[in-house]
Homo-oligomer: A and B are copies of this chain.
Amino acid sequence: MNARAPGRPRILSRARIVASARHIADNEGLEALTVRRVAQELGTGQASLYRHIADRNELLTLLADDVAVHLPPPKDGPDPRERVIGQWLNAYDYLSQHLWAARIIAEGEHAADSAAAFTRSAVDALAALARVGSGEGGPDQAGIARTYRVLWHLLLGHLLNAHPVGHAHPVHDIAVEREGAGPAKAAETFRDDFAWALPRVLEGLLGTHAS
């Protein structure tokens, strides 16, 4: 929007810049996201943007933080197993809508301290599940942290392979191919795989059993 357009001119803010950048990344992938492109979207000049952000890197950091802050809490309810499984499935679905963010996190370019609330709540929910499932003989704090990391990597691996970002070619997965399914089915298959694996992996890692 241009300030000279009819109506009240909107004030440029970091929040508006981040919202516009997220829209571009969600719809066109990270490659399309440049400061010039965001300026176009907002109907302003690049110089105006540089009064709010230092460079593209700062923009990416702000974006990744914005996604990380909104990672989901454990699912509501009394059952600790359902709380854990629901949180991770929701995280999968949420990140599959913002894959460029998953890729930023995996590439380790930008800190995501903003994910701390997710980490804390996920670790607490895992600890509650471990107490119910295996009592005193369950994993200690280090084992819970390790379980958290393994689940996070399981999620990342499924997401990053299932949904290549910013590339025109469909994913080619050797095992999906082997089953005879076309590449277009990959994302759907991997979501199913993750949902199938999650309770089984939890049982293996925590030494608990399904109730």
* B-binding residues in A (CB < 8 A): 105-113, 115-116, 118-119, 123, 142, 145-146, 148-150, 152-158, 160-161, 164-165, 167, 169-176, 178-179, 183, 189-190, 193-194, 196-197, 200-205, 207
Contact = CB atoms under 8 A, between A and B. Distances in A.
A45 to B, nearest CB: 30
24 contacts: A106-B164, A107-B160, A108-B164, A108-B172, A108-B173, A109-B164, A109-B169, A112-B174, A116-B174, A119-B174, A145-B178, A145-B179, A149-B173, A150-B197, A152-B157, A153-B154, A153-B190, A153-B193, A155-B157, A157-B157, A197-B205, A200-B204, A201-B204, A202-B204
Chain A contact surface mostly: helix
Count of this chain's copies in the oligomeric assembly: 2
Given A108-B167, A160-B160, A203-B204, 16 more contacts: A108-B164, A108-B170, A112-B172, A112-B174, A113-B174, A118-B174, A145-B175, A145-B179, A146-B197, A149-B173, A149-B189, A149-B193, A150-B201, A153-B193, A157-B157, A200-B205
A71 to B, nearest CB: 10
Nearest to A169: B109
